[in-house]
A = this chain, B = another copy of it.
């Protein structure tokens, strides 16, 4: 008799419409699937707008002809709730939901609210509960957790980015990351602690980080570069995908891109416009495993 699999993994991503950037996301899917070859691993995009764009493309024969590389799963991509619910409908009642976010900010808060809401559904008889267990994985830089200190997650992320420091070192440049940041959650400390860990691990490279929104800003980065008398800068997005922010805000031709600003301020700037996805995919694999263990989901 065949045993029905009841475990599955959902990768919750903000999403991207940039075809090249999509590979950064698919790299995470590939890594998780490789770690759990027998387990159903589904992607969800949390951005309503991005999903709509993919759905429109899915009905556009010209687009499809030009982009045969886009997987069907992306063309029919759903949000978190429907992705989870359709798995549940097929009998997958023990899930791990792994966000591919950098920091525990608004999106992680909202994702946790989804998981908590679904887990709160108590049927009268326990066997009819829609879910037996849902584990929620930590973002890249961790979150509040009694078991996994976020400081450790930050160190692990810094170790995974050794190649960035090495590239900056070879260029004798300061390494400046552009994070997303936000105005609501005080995630700035995570970024600054990450940069401090980078400087500790790679002491011959000045690693700094600024954010598109909130604290710390590019101004603070510039002040710091000056303070350390840096003249050369290697820019890199501190983002999972090299999408819109990377292409426009970081290295766009406009005069308010970070590259334009830093050049005007007199720095010699090069840029590595690649998402972190492939570099940190294995960290998310670990977070999946740890969330599964904590929630009692046995991934086979």
Contact = CB atoms under 8 A, between A and B. Distances in A.
B113 A146 contact: no
A17 to B, nearest CB: 18
A186 B183 contact: no
Contacts of A144: 106, 109, 124, 184-185
A78 interface: yes
Contact of A125 (B106, B185, B193): B106
A214 interface: yes
Interface residues of A, number: 53
Interface of A: 51, 78-79, 81-82, 84-86, 88-89, 103-104, 106, 109-110, 113-114, 116-125, 128, 130, 141, 144-146, 149-151, 183-193, 196, 214-216, 220, 227
Given A113-B123, A117-B121, A118-B121, 19 more contacts: A79-B88, A81-B85, A82-B82, A82-B86, A84-B85, A85-B86, A106-B124, A106-B125, A109-B144, A124-B144, A124-B184, A151-B214, A186-B187, A186-B189, A187-B189, A188-B190, A189-B190, A189-B215, A192-B215
